[in-house]
Amino acid sequence: MSSGTEPAWFKSSYSGTEGDNCIEIAVTEQAIHVRDSKDVTRPHFTIGRDGWAQFVRYAAHG
Instruction: Please give the residue range of the domain that contains residue 16.
Output: 10-60
Q: Could you tell me if residue 22 is inside a domain?
A: yes
Q: Could you tell me if residue 5 is inside a domain?
A: no
pTM for the model: 0.74
Q: Could you tell me if residue 32 is inside a domain?
A: yes
Q: Give the chain's residues under pLDDT 50.
A: 1-2
Number of domains in the chain: 1
* Whether 9 contacts 25, CB under 8 Å: yes
**pLDDT of res. 16:** 66
